[in-house]
Amino acid sequence: MRKAELKRITKETSIRVSIDLDGKGKNNLNTGIGFFDHLLDQFSFYSGVDINGEIEGDLHIDCHHTIEDLGYVIGECIRKALDMDPGIERFSSQYIAMDESLVRSAIDLSGRPFLYFDYYFERERIGQLETECIKEFFRALVTTSKMTLHLDVIRGENNHHIAEALFKALGRSFAKAKVIISDQVTSTKGVI
Ligand SMILES: [Mn+2]
């Protein structure tokens, strides 16, 4: 059972999250930011990771704390859940086309946090989501999950499509990288 649960309470956010790495691809988290829920739904659906729990953030300030802290918590849950099974595929890359948009995600569940993401959205907001928070989510997720993640927007015009394609690509590549392929650690070093 590759599951994990975590609670994190600060003056800015109050978060309880549980994830099931081998779930049905359902996100039940309601962040209070409609478009971000739409993005999390894409990640869940295409990764097969179930996300449950509650989050209450200081959205009267802006989206930043809520999204960053949620990234830390989901990332840590992923790390905890993966730790039980070391013989995972680890590497995966995925192109996702969504109409005019084309993005690529390359993952190594390496134990070494690294994010490459240099895209700046043209729009400041999509729905209630401040687009600069998208990078903050990826950065937080990478930090605690300790994955190496390269996300490239190869082309695209519609900011909704680009954001959605990024979360689909992340989900699809994670779906492949998390698969257990061996009872041995998938590293020539013998440790991830
Ligand atoms: Mn959409």
Q: Would you call 5 exposed, middle or buried from its count of C-beta atoms within 10 A (0-12, 13-18, 19+)?
A: middle
Beta strand 114-116 with 148-155 is parallel
54 lies in some domain: yes
77 lies in some domain: yes
Instruction: Output the pTM of the full model.
Output: 0.96
Total tally of structural domains belonging to the chain: 1
185 lies in some domain: no
Spacing, Cα 41 to ligand 1 middle (Å) = 10
34 lies in some domain: yes
186 lies in some domain: no
Residue 192 near residue 110, CB atoms below 8 Å: yes
Cα-to-chain-centroid distance, residue 74: 7
Spacing, Cα 162 to ligand 1 middle (Å) = 10
* Residue ranges near ligand 1 (ion) with Cβ within 5 Å: 164
Spacing, Cα 191 to ligand 1 middle (Å) = 39
133 lies in some domain: yes
Going by C-alpha positions, the residue among 95, 117, 91, 112 that lies closest to residue 104 is: 95
SS3 content of the chain, % helix, strand, coil (to 5): 35, 30, 35
Spacing, Cα 74 to ligand 1 middle (Å) = 22
Grade residue 85 by pLDDT with cuts at 50, 70 and 90: low
For the stretch 8-24, pLDDT in tens is: 999 999 999 999 999 99
- Residue 70: give the domain boundaries: 3-177
Torsion sign, CA atoms 162, 125, 143, 38: negative
Task: Specify the CATH number for the domain of residue 44.
Answer: 3.30.230.40
For the stretch 32-66, pLDDT in tens is: 999 999 999 999 999 999 999 999 999 999 999 99
Structure tokens at 96: 């996702």
Spacing, Cα 114 to ligand 1 middle (Å) = 27
For the stretch 136-161, pLDDT in tens is: 999 999 999 999 999 999 999 999 99
Spacing, Cα 46 to ligand 1 middle (Å) = 14
Spacing, Cα 75 to ligand 1 middle (Å) = 23
User: What's the whole-number mean pLDDT along residues 88-93?
Assistant: 96
Q: Is 47 strand, coil or helix? A: helix
Question: Does pLDDT of 25 surpass 80?
Answer: yes
Spacing, Cα 96 to ligand 1 middle (Å) = 14
